[in-house]
Every structure is written in structure tokens, then in C-alpha cells.
Chain A
Amino acid sequence: MKKSNQLSRREFLAAAGAAVSVPYLIPSGVLATPGRGGANERLTMAHIGVGGMGGHHLRDMKRFVKAGIVNIAAVCDADENRLAGAVKTAGPGVQPYRDYRYVLERKDIDAVVIATPDHWHAVQMVHAAECGKHVYVEKPACCTIEEGKAMVAAAKKNKVSVQVGSQGRSQPEAYLAHRYLVNGNIGHIDKVTCFHYNSPEDSNPVPNSDPPPELDWDLWLGPLRWRPYNKKYCHGVFRWVLESGGGQIRDRGAHVMSCAVWWMGADGTGPVTVEATGTAPKKGLWDSAVTMDVTYTFKNPDWVLTWNQHTGNAVPAEERTGKEPGGKISRPGYGAVYHGSQGKFVHWGGDGGTWVEKKAREWKPPAGAKDVYKSPGHKEDWFKGIKTGAKTIMNIEASVGVANLCVLGNLSYILGRKLKWDQQKQEIIGDVQARRMMGHPQRHPYHL
């Protein structure tokens, strides 16, 4: 979308003949100034989506406020109760908004943290980039292939730093595992098998109803096609609806497969085929696969990545004292096994953390061993990207690549057939219906 084709709020009001005076009339979209903020200047931050993970980000950001690295200027949510809670957390002087576009209009805001449901990620990230804001956006980056393309293009065109919330890459043990694997300690790896427990089924479906008064249902739905409110779509459970949450694979897959792709040196690559099977929920509106098996075949170099979602298939977590670099494993029910020519290696990935086997934690690199990038912390890595222009550890290209794995897995499951993928062109080959499903038209005006 060309900026010249877009209407600012000021132009819109003028065109409509509205003679009202409101704050923040200058659209920041025309004021994109990349790389703003010198090394010693505080970044001015806004949080869009402040429930669930968004609430965690807001609380976490306060340590950077205390450290003199950022200011929090605004919080935003479509749920007034959550917004009121965020105002209290953020403290005096922080402006609340329901509509994120007010946030993007403010030229004093340098960067935004987006932690809305998945179906908003691409639209809000692209809009923020178009308005010159640096972006931290929750994972998975995108819900469709076309959204991913738009995100990569917007970040590149507007020269903004984007970090996607697959924070597992920035964990201390992720560095240790990466270093251990690239130094050939288990030989040549030709297979990575991810394990995860089932997606839940809805044991108590409820009929549609009026939305609660605190929720702007139209805004919550945003780009999705309209439907009546049902609480089983919304807070805390949107994950189990394919359109908005994409199931376990798009949630935890974006963590576990993120590490796999990173450690295999496969950022920027993609599979040639994707084949998924699964079992469907027996009732309720949740439609993500309960159990699921996906096989991704990569070529040049040849390796196979699988996603196996079955309760009870987890590799038992190793005993820990809590004094390890990553501490205790918070939720050991998912992770991945790396199959090498000289052994196996296990990664546990609970709640976005990264915990790895003792042999990698205790490995002492010999002279001449390869070293790998060590993230200073996921947000710290983002701040570094903002201030120096350095590529973030979970940059938008890499995270769209991982999100595409999740998206393609779900597409293959939905369609019940194997898909062929052209990584270079970023498109599905030889399947007209699947190609149409690479994108999903979005509701006006909540579109890319």
C-alpha cells in the first residue's frame, strides 16, 4: 500500500468537513525516521494488547524503565477492563487507548510492543512500520503466507527494527545448545522431531451471546470476517480456533521450531513438501487439531523436521537443581529431539523458555571451536537492533519463515493433502485451492 493512497486522520476529518479539535492530529506515517534515538536516549514505548502475554510484557518493560532505557507513553486494548488494569500497572502519565491507530499517530512514540491475538499481528506490525515505529510483535508472526510477505516488505521498506516474541532463541541455554550442535557434537543432524501434548477439546460449548460491555468485539475481531460473539473465541482460548490462534503448532511450534531452524542454520530456507494429518475436536467451535503429525522435508541440505502432537509422547525432563543457566524447566511437556549421526540431543521448550541437556551445558569448547551469537536478552537484543540497525535474533524474515512452517502445517491438515512449497517464490505449487488459501481477505478497515 502506497502512503500517497492513504488518508490521515486530519485529511479524513477535513474531507468530512469536521471542524473539531483533537489531540495527536499529525499522522506519524509520513514522519518515518528510521534509526531514531541515540545510544543514550530513552526509547518511548507503547504497548498494544495488554492482556495475557501483553500484560507480562508491560510488567517486564518496567525494569527497562527503571534502568533508564525506555519510557512507557501509552497502553492500548480493545477490552476496557484489561486497559484499566494496564493503566494501573504502567503508572501515572501513561495514556490509554482502545484503538491502536491513535498510538501510531503519536510521533513521540518510537516503538510498540504488539501482543494482541495472532490475527492482528500482521496488520498492526505493518501499520506500525508504515508509521515509522520499531516493533516487538508476539509470535507467531503471521497467520497466512501473504501476511508474512507484507511484514517482511514493510520492515524492509520502512527500515524499522522488528523482534518477534520467540524468546527461546535468547535464553542462555539456547546459546549453549546452538554452540554444542554447530560444533558437531552429535555429528551430522538429518532429523529433528518436535514433541508436544494435545490441543484441548471444548467439553462445554456455549451458544453465541452479546459481547460483554467492556469488550469492543468489532475491534477484537478486526481483520477476521464478522461473526457473532462467543466467549469460546476470545480471551485465553482464541488459540484453539484455527483462524485466530492456529492451535498448539502455531503457538509452541513458533518456539520449538524457531530453535530448530536457528540451530540447524536454516533461517531463510524452507521445506519442499509439507504433509500433515491430525484428529479433529468432536464438539464446540474450536477447530484446531487435537493430535497432529506434520512432516517437513528440506532439500539442499537434506533434513526432515517433524511436529508430533500427542499427549504422552514427551521426552522426560532431566532432573535439575534450579541453578542451571536456565533454571528449572517450567513446563516440560514439549520440545524437540535432534537426531545426529553420532547421537541424540534433547531440547525442552516450556513457555518459550529453552532448556537443554546437561552435555551441552557442561561442554567446554576446545581451541578453535566455532562460536555463535549470544543474545543479551530478547528485549535487549531488540533495543540493540533499534539503536544500531543490527539484525535482531528473531528478525522478521526468520520469524515469518518459522510461522510459515506452522501455517503450512495447518493448511495441509485442513486440506487433508500434501503440499509442495517453493521457498524462493514463497508460494505453494500445483494446488489452486491451497494457493488461494495463502492469503485471507481482511475486513475493512482492518487490513494490510
Chain B
Amino acid sequence: MSIKSLKKAPLAPATAGLMAGIAGAAQNKDVDELIAKIKDNSDKVRTAAWLGAGNVGAPAVKPLAKVMTDNDLEVARAAKRALWKIVRHAGRPRARNEKKAVTAELVPLLGDDQPAPVRREVLWMLSEIGDAKSIKPIAALLANKQLREDARMVLQRVPNKRAIGALKAGLKAAPKDFKLNIAQSLRQRGVKVRGLPCVKLVPTKKTNVKPLE
């Protein structure tokens, strides 16, 4: 009997609970296996693991985020790539529920309890699959000096009107040294911004190299 037909069959609550438990256990097993392989000493095993992570999906997001800060650079990198695979797989056409589930797991990883490199990577993941519900937590990072430039660019990319609203609100609240950045994003989204002209052609960096006489 397929899972699809199981879902359609009238099940007693106890049986349904049992089935959910079995599915959950299988899911946990997949995640555990993935994490173990991501931490493996062999680069071949790690590579095969991250390449196949897409199907493991949302349940693996938080465990992988933890491994992204592993002391072994290659293990950390494999975890990051596995997470990206999940994002790219979940973002495929006609996979709305998977995308929603992955997004829901990613958003809490923007929190203060996470290391900045993880939060930065998660921001960019949300730039590809983030929805209206992701806007507020992304926008909150406009106030974080370390992450605000990434948050600004990510809001620029998410094609949701709420993102424009968040950028407008961010512009009002931004310190002087960051207003030009947000103004640029708003212009990219078609919003007219007064009093904060584009400075892209203003040179700022001087060389110490001298010309030949």
C-alpha cells in the first residue's frame, strides 16, 4: 500500500498516530544519516551526502545549521552546501508545501542565538524562497550592523510588496550612514526616493602608486 493510498484510507486514530510515528521515525533516521555522512572523514562521502540532501528537506534544516559552524572547515562547508541543496530542491515548481516547510525552518535561524555566518547564509537562502512571512524577521536585521547590508539586498530581491514596505520603514529608522544603501534598494524596486541621491559614481579610494615622471 502506498503512502498516498494510506492517506486516503479511513484509519482509526490510533492507527493514524502509529503511522505518523513511523513516518517521523523514518524522517529522523534520514536526518541522522545525512548528518553522520556530512561529518564523515571522507570527502567523497560528504559530497554524496550534500548532493542528496534535497530530498531530506525541512527536517534537516536546523541540524545542518548546527554543523555549519563545525571546526572542520570541510564539514562546515558540506553542511552549508547541503542546506543550499534543500533550498534549491524546495524551490522547484509545484513544491509549494515543501518550500513553505523549509522557509518555516529557516526563519528562526535568523535569530540572535545563531552565529553571524549562519544568519548571513540563511538570509540569502530566503532571498530565493522567502515568502511574505519571512519579511518581518529579515527586516529586523536592518538594525544589525553586521548583517544589515545583506538584509537590505535580500529584501530588494524578494518580490513581495511587503518587502518594499519593510525597506521604507527601514529607511526611516536607519542611521545616516546606511540610508543611502536602503534608498538604492528602493530605487531598484521602482520607488522614488528624494534627498538621497545615488553615489555610485563618487570615487572614494586613492592609490599610493605614483606615476612615472
What's the Cα separation between A87 and B131 when bound, in Å?
A: 51
What's the Cα separation between A100 and B206 when bound, in Å?
A: 10
CB < 8 Å neighbour of A283 from B77, B203, B211: B77
Among B2-10, B15-23, B181-189, the stretch in contact with A: B181-189
User: Which A residues from 275 to 328 make CB contacts under 8 A with B?
Assistant: 280-285, 287
- Is A251 positioned at the interface, with any CB of B under 8 Å from its CB? no
| Chain A residue with the shortest CB-CB distance to B208 | A80
* Count class of interface residues, chain B: 35 or more
Question: Across the interface, which residues of A come within 8 angstroms of B180, CB to CB?
Answer: 444-445
- Is A121 positioned at the interface, with any CB of B under 8 Å from its CB? no
CB < 8 Å neighbour of B207 from A27, A83, A443: A83
| Chain A residue with the shortest CB-CB distance to B206 | A98
| Chain A residue with the shortest CB-CB distance to B99 | A433
Contact with A along B179-213 (1 / 0, CB 8 A): 01100110110000000011111111111111111
In contact, B47 and A416 (Cβ under 8 angstroms): no
Among B60-68, B107-115, B137-145, B146-154, the stretch in contact with A: B146-154
| Chain B residue with the shortest CB-CB distance to A13 | B202
Task: With a 10 A CB-CB cut-off, give which of A94, A100, A102, A216 has the most chain B CB atoms.
Answer: A102
What's the Cα separation between A83 and B210 when bound, in Å?
A: 10
Q: In the assembled complex, how far is the CB of residue A99 from the closest CB belonging to chain B, in whole angstroms?
A: 4
Contact with A along B50-94 (1 / 0, CB 8 A): 010010000000000000000001100100010000001101110
Question: Across the interface, which residues of B come within 8 angstroms of A5, CB to CB?
Answer: 187, 197-198
Question: Across the interface, which residues of A come within 8 angstroms of B43, CB to CB?
Answer: 282-283
- Is B134 positioned at the interface, with any CB of A under 8 Å from its CB? no
CB < 8 Å neighbour of A6 from B93, B149, B201, B209: B201
In contact, B184 and A29 (Cβ under 8 angstroms): no
In contact, A226 and B149 (Cβ under 8 angstroms): yes
In contact, A98 and B91 (Cβ under 8 angstroms): no
Question: Across the interface, which residues of B come within 8 angstroms of A80, CB to CB?
Answer: 207-209
**With A1-B187, A285-B77 as given contacts, are A6 and B212 in contact (CB-CB < 8 Å)?**
no
What's the Cα separation between A344 and B93 when bound, in Å?
A: 39
Question: Across the interface, which residues of B come within 8 angstroms of A442, CB to CB?
Answer: 153
Tell me what chain A mostly uses at the interface: helix, strand, loop, or mixed: loop
Q: In the assembled complex, how far is the CB of residue B133 from the closest CB belonging to chain A, in whole angstroms?
A: 16
- Is B32 positioned at the interface, with any CB of A under 8 Å from its CB? no
What's the Cα separation between A104 and B81 when bound, in Å?
A: 39
What's the Cα separation between A440 and B127 when bound, in Å?
A: 10
What's the Cα separation between A223 and B210 when bound, in Å?
A: 27
Q: In the assembled complex, how far is the CB of residue A24 from the closest CB belonging to chain B, in whole angstroms?
A: 9
Number of A-B contacts (CB under 8 A): 154
**With A7-B198, A7-B202, A447-B200 as given contacts, are A96 and B210 in contact (CB-CB < 8 Å)?**
yes
In contact, A445 and B199 (Cβ under 8 angstroms): yes
Q: In the assembled complex, how far is the CB of residue B149 from the closest CB belonging to chain A, in whole angstroms?
A: 6
- Is A267 positioned at the interface, with any CB of B under 8 Å from its CB? no
Question: Across the interface, which residues of A come within 8 angstroms of B202, CB to CB?
Answer: 7-9, 12, 101, 445
- Is B162 positioned at the interface, with any CB of A under 8 Å from its CB? no
- Is A390 positioned at the interface, with any CB of B under 8 Å from its CB? no
Task: With a 10 A CB-CB cut-off, give which of B47, B77, B197 has the most chain A CB atoms.
Answer: B197
In contact, A416 and B124 (Cβ under 8 angstroms): no
Q: In the assembled complex, how far is the CB of residue A153 from the closest CB belonging to chain B, in whole angstroms?
A: 14
- Is B118 positioned at the interface, with any CB of A under 8 Å from its CB? no
Given A105-B201, A445-B180, 14 additional A-B pairs, CB 8 A: A6-B201, A9-B202, A83-B207, A92-B213, A94-B212, A98-B205, A99-B203, A99-B207, A283-B43, A283-B46, A416-B88, A436-B128, A436-B158, A444-B149
12 A-B pairs whose Cβ atoms sit less than 8 Å apart in the complex: A27-B201, A91-B212, A94-B212, A97-B203, A205-B73, A216-B205, A287-B81, A415-B88, A415-B91, A431-B92, A443-B149, A447-B184
- Report B's interface with A, CB cutoff 8 A: 43-44, 46-47, 51, 54, 73-74, 77, 81, 88-89, 91-93, 120, 124, 127-129, 149-150, 152-154, 156-159, 180-181, 184-185, 187-188, 197-213
Return the 9 tightest CB-CB contacts between A and B, nearest first: A433-B91, A441-B153, A101-B203, A98-B207, A99-B205, A444-B181, A7-B197, A282-B43, A96-B209
